[in-house]
Structure 1
Amino acid sequence: MNVIPQVIRKGSALGEDYVRGQHSHELYEYDLQDGHSLRRRAEWLDAPNRPQADRQELVRVLTSYNARYNDYASVRESLEKLKDKQTLVVVGGQQSGLFTGSLLVVYKAATIVHAARLASKDLGREVVPIFWIAGEDHDWDEADHTYVLTHDLEVRRLRMESWHDGKSSVSAVEVPTEKWEEVIAELELELADSEFKAELIGMLRSELPQSTSLSEGFARLIGRLFGRYGLVLVDSADPELRKVERPMFERLIEQNDKFEQAYLQAAERIEDAGYEQQAQAVEGAANLFYIHEGQRLLLYKQDGKFVDRRGMVILTKEELLERLERCPECFSNNVLTRPLMQDYLFPVLQAVLGLGEIAYWAGTKDGFEAAGMQMPILLPRMSFTVLDPSTKKNMEFYGLTFEDVMERFESRKEAWLIQQDKLGMDGMFEQTKAEFEQLYAPLIERLGELQSGLANLGMKNREKIVDQITFLQEKTKQTIARQNEAELRRWDRIYKMLFPLDRPQERVYTVFYMLNRYGLDWIDELMKIDPDLTGRHRIVEV
């Protein structure tokens, strides 16, 4: 694979400023450009009495989970290393998605593995890669779909249709076998035929129909792709994990006012620095969810009690703590407390994040301090656009750069189409309209002298005639476009490959689209690319 650095729009001002080192340094604990950060963070993690979970119990839970969905020798080796209190981790994660969701999930997993290896080498101690599956999230609409480019060049959404109320966590929603079979059959229909397709579909049929939830299916597929690299998986909705997390939930409840003020203080600092909040800190928010009758309810504080918006749950602090003792699996973090829980569970050396995530983590810095913890080093995930030979050839033929496709594709395509007007029809139409209006102007002026109402009628008449000329002009353009339909499809293919749905490729297509084109060992080829942990985007020519 040939790899070319490339600037691409990302969409998060604070995230972009962070990776360039141009942010307010009060917003984060460590700077990406600081070469001493790694050792300073490791030293802090080695300090005694920092808040942390029972490591042996954590490893027991992880071993049980990975034995079910990610049972590979390298994973078992990683778990064995994690038993040692000297072992650190690099962690990153994503909400579970259909067929692993978009390519960025795969790139994040690859970054975690690479970062752990590099940190282990730099520090001379074991560093284990951890992938955090955000199974406690309940936004089913974000997790239930993915996209492929079909053989007839349509960007097609594959979706697991909803059959539930959408208020339960993704990991708690049971997926019937027939739902898996339906969506795999749809993927098989939409993917172009290739030498790898039968093996790929066979692998999906062996893994997914036995999965009881979207999160379980996600775990099995991430395991198939990265288990051999020692990537350990954890589902944040695992009931056994909740028992390990209980002391941290207790602190979040008992000192809830303190954490609320910390998040509001961080939010104010973000806004003072000129940025918008990515994760909104709200006055009166408990920043915790409570699972009530299968529904994940966000808690607020009102009149000294913890309540949800609809009043389904009204509990005193003592009652909430009593329920935590009795049912830790009834509790769940929100976007601001999840980073703290992750750091409580694991000795997190580095957290691998997207730029949007880096931006909202700025709102957690004071929360870490309130918990007696410290925000870890934040690493931007690797970012790629895959450029296949056919797309590259077409871009070269039409003289298009990547920037052309990203910034001015429609104008370049329109200019090319005008060049196909060999008879100069568009210019003739424009000349005709200009000459007609010039000839008609004196007539309208004389009509106005005769009667003002006739001048208005004349102007409307002129507009109608110009509209008719323009109509014929557009019909002529359409005829020229039809005559060049095959080449215009090549133009559209370029854009749909690189920026489907007007978004970067990595945010749309599933990895299984790539695996169908290049084979199951494409992940191994991806892992051979030199890691870049600076947040720079790269084009990968395959």
Structure 2
Amino acid sequence: MELEGLALQETNKVMQAYQHDKEFLHTFFDYENEDRAYIDRLEELASRGFERQQLAGIVRAFMERFGISEQADQHIEELADDAVAVVGGQQAGIMTGPLYSVHKAITVILLAKKKRAELGVPVVPVFWVAGEDHDLNEINHVYTELDGRAVKHQFRDKFVLKWMASDASYDKKQMEAFVKSIFGKYGETIYTKGLLEEVLNAVHQEQTFTQFFVRLMNGFFQKEGLLFIDSAFKPLRELESAYFIRLIEESEIVAEMIYNKEAHFTELGLGTPIQAELDAANLFYIHETGRVLLKRKDGLFVNDSTGIHFTKEEMLRIAKEEPWLLSNNVATRPLMQDLVFPVLAFVGGPGEIAYWALLKDAFHHLQMKMPIIVRRMSITLVTPQVKHALEGKAFTVEDVMLGQVSIAKEQFTEGLKNDQFEAVVQETEALLTEQYRKIEEVTDRQGPMLQEILTKNLQFHTKQLNYLKGKAEEATVLKHATALRTYSLLEGELFPEGILQERLYTPYAYMNAYGPSLIQDICELPFEMDGTHKIIYL
């Protein structure tokens, strides 16, 4: 396994500003990602109170069904005492979803280790699973590579509209068949049987998307002691009761602050990540029809589509007595996370960092500073087959990502054309057309029926010539199929659909080629968190 860094050109405007514009950074965030900031953040966390014992007990209770390693047990004990946390999170995907979920977890683990050593205090890695998310269409599919294309395979099951991922139970027989079909796309290796058994065991041991996801992820990171918590876990919601009360009491001011911050963000040409509204309650209610978003209207908390309406007093009662019926949205989840955990740093992708940028004033209103924001590592995995193809064509991974392979493929395809053959076929078509025109002239007086026959006859010959051209192209492609497959392989594996590999494929495609120790071996590589894209040759 080899590791190298690649300085990809940053195309995301928000990330450009975050990395290079100090004024932007100080406007939208509390800390720069530098050594001194971690010391300052420790001091800020020390001045705040956390329900550590209760929180540690909740994390332990959540993780027990999945297995708590010796290292995870130590981290839970430290969290109960005086540890701070590096936190990252993601939705629960089938077979862990795209690789970036794993890359985010790896970043969380490595950053926690690094800061533990540098600061001399216990720093624990925490993965916050967004189990309360209800858009199952975002997580109910898997991509595989086929002939240079990313092919989407959707798990088709009937779910209640707006069910949270942590409440959505899948049909185990259907999921087993789905997982087997995905592994069938990967091809048989010496690792396939063991990996498939592991995933199928998780399918049958668990019930929901979130449980399935956590069991697999926990298996990957047992040695590292990564802690998991589900945002929809009922005991966590009970711990959050007092914080929900604060968010309800301050909902109008918080909504206004986020709205104004986003307006400023938009003025800078950076878009509208949250699409904030002044009347937003920034909370969901768990209704019998699913998770529904609340707004403030005429002094009430309402959802017009379901007819739900609560007074402020009713909302406060729910927060106090039934907090599991409430759920955070994209704006209040970071606030809640920081109220619950002593967050030293938050690890996120570009999209997450964009919406966190709108929350500084809301954090301050709740007497908190934002944690240090760290961009997750971005990684591309290169199998031996793909490495061989790169070397054979004298390309680099960067060439693929810059579109050089696509250009070379077009040029190669153009070079395969038999210009002489095409010229003769075109000449034949032109001669036929001319001869049929002459026939039409001499038969013009014999009526429309003959003219119609002539037209159809010419169309038949033209169709046959086109068929001949198509067969000639097929023969050429078949003759050069190996070279064309190489171009397609490079694009389909390294930059599918014009995006990074990590945004589509699951880790199992690469574990199937490398082996079940892939994720642990990646964790042990000598990463530099220097902002470069990481290339790992398997």
Question: Which TM-score band applies after superposition, normalised by the shorter structure?
Answer: 0.7 to 0.9
Secondary structure of 1:24 counterpart: helix
Q: Choose which of 407, 411, 422 in structure 1 pairs with 2:407.
A: 411
Q: Which residue, 355, 367, 372 being the options, matches 1:377?
A: 372
TM-score, normalised relative to structure 1: 0.87
Deviation string, structure 1 residues 288-331 (Cα, Å, up to 9, x no partner): 00111151110001111110131421111011111222211000
Match of 1:27 in 2: 28
Which aligned pairs between 1:45-194 and structure 2 lie closer than 5 A? 45-47=45-47, 50=48, 52-85=49-82, 87-149=83-145, 155-194=150-189
State the distance in 1 between where 2:183 and 2:477 align: 33
| Residues 152-301 of structure 1 mapped to structure 2, 5 A cutoff | 155-301=150-296
Q: Distance in 2 between matches of 1:118 and 1:312?
A: 50
CA contact (8 A) 2:416 2:476 kept: yes
Task: State the Cα deviation string for residues 388-407 of structure 1 (Å, max 9, x = none).
Answer: 22222222322333343223
* Partners of 1:236 and 1:286 in 2: CA distance: 18
Find 1:513's aligned residue among 509, 518, 524. 509
Residue equivalent to 2:318: 323
| C-alpha contact (below 8 Å) 2:343/2:371 kept by paired residues | yes
Q: CA RMSD in A?
A: 2.6
The structure 2 residue matched to 1:482, chosen from 478, 502, 524, is 478
The number of residues matched between the two structures is 504
Instruction: Report what 2:436 is aligned to.
Output: none
- How big is the shift at 1:425? 4.2
Q: In the alignment, is the contact (CA less than 8 A) between 1:19 and 1:380 conserved in 2?
A: no
Tell me which moved more, 56-65 or 484-493. 484-493
Q: Which residue of 1 aligns with 2:445?
A: none
CA distance in structure 2 between the partners assigned to 1:149 and 1:506 by the alignment: 13
| Structure 2: runs of 5 or more not aligned | 431-458
Equivalent residue number for residue 17 of structure 1: 17
Q: Distance in 1 between matches of 2:187 and 2:532?
A: 31
Query: Any conservation in 1 of the 2:104–2:348 contact (CA below 8 Å)?
Result: yes
Give the CA deviation at 1:424: 5.4
Shift of 1:475: 7.2
The residue aligned with 2:4 is 4
* Structure 2 residue aligned with 1:447: none
Secondary structure of the 1:224 match is helix
2:297 is matched by which residue type in structure 1?
A: Q
Shift in Å at residue 116 of structure 1? 0.3
Output the CA distance in 2 between the equivalents of 1:70 and 1:426: 67
Inter-CA distance 42–426: structure 2 relative to 1 (3 Å threshold): farther
For residues 22 and 493 of structure 2, the distance between their equivalents in structure 1, rounded to whole angstroms, comes to 32
SS at match of 1:19: helix
What CA distance in whole angstroms lies between the structure 2 residues aligned with 1:499 and 1:475?
31
Shift of 1:111: 0.6
Deviations 1:118-158 (A, max 9, x none): 011111010000000000000100111122336x7664434
2:205 match: secondary structure: coil
Q: Write the deviation string for residues 468-501 of structure 1: whole angstroms up to 9, x where unpaired.
A: 9x97988765553332122211211111111223
Post-superposition CA distance 1:413-463 (Å, at most 9, x none): 111223345x6549979x99xxx9xxxxxxxxxxxxxxxxxxxxxxxxxxx
Tell me how far apart the structure 1 counterparts of residues 8 and 158 of structure 2 sit (CA, whole Å).
Answer: 38
Partner of 2:359: helix, strand, or coil? helix
Q: Give me the whole-angstrom Cα distance separating, in 2, the residues matched to 1:288 and 1:479.
A: 61
User: Is the Cα–Cα contact under 8 Å of residues 175 and 203 in structure 2 kept in the other structure?
Assistant: yes
Quick one: distance in 2 between partners of 1:402 and 1:69?
A: 37
Distance (Å, rounded) in 1 between the aligned partners of 2:40 and 2:200 = 47
- 1:454-465 correspondence to structure 2 within 5 Å: none
Identity between Structure 1 and Structure 2 (%): 32
Q: Deviations over 1:27-75 (max 9, x none)?
A: 111122x33111111111111xx3x541111111111111112421111
Is the CA contact (8 Å cut-off) linking 2:93 and 2:209 kept in structure 1? yes
User: Would the aligned equivalents of 1:136 and 1:332 in 2 still touch at CA under 8 Å?
Assistant: yes
Distance (Å, rounded) in 1 between the aligned partners of 2:74 and 2:291: 35
Equivalent residue for 1:440? none
2:492 corresponds to which letter in structure 1?
K
Q: Residues 384 and 202 from structure 1, CA distance in 2 versus in 1: closer, same or farther, beyond 3 angstroms? A: same
Per-residue displacement from partner, 1:346-401 (whole Å, max 9, x unpaired)?
11000010111111110111111111111100111111111122222222322333
| Residue of structure 2 equivalent to 1:523 | 519
C-alpha spacing 1:28/1:281, structure 2 compared with 1 (3 Å) = same
Preserved CA contact (<8 Å) 2:148 2:493? no
Aligned to 1:43: 43
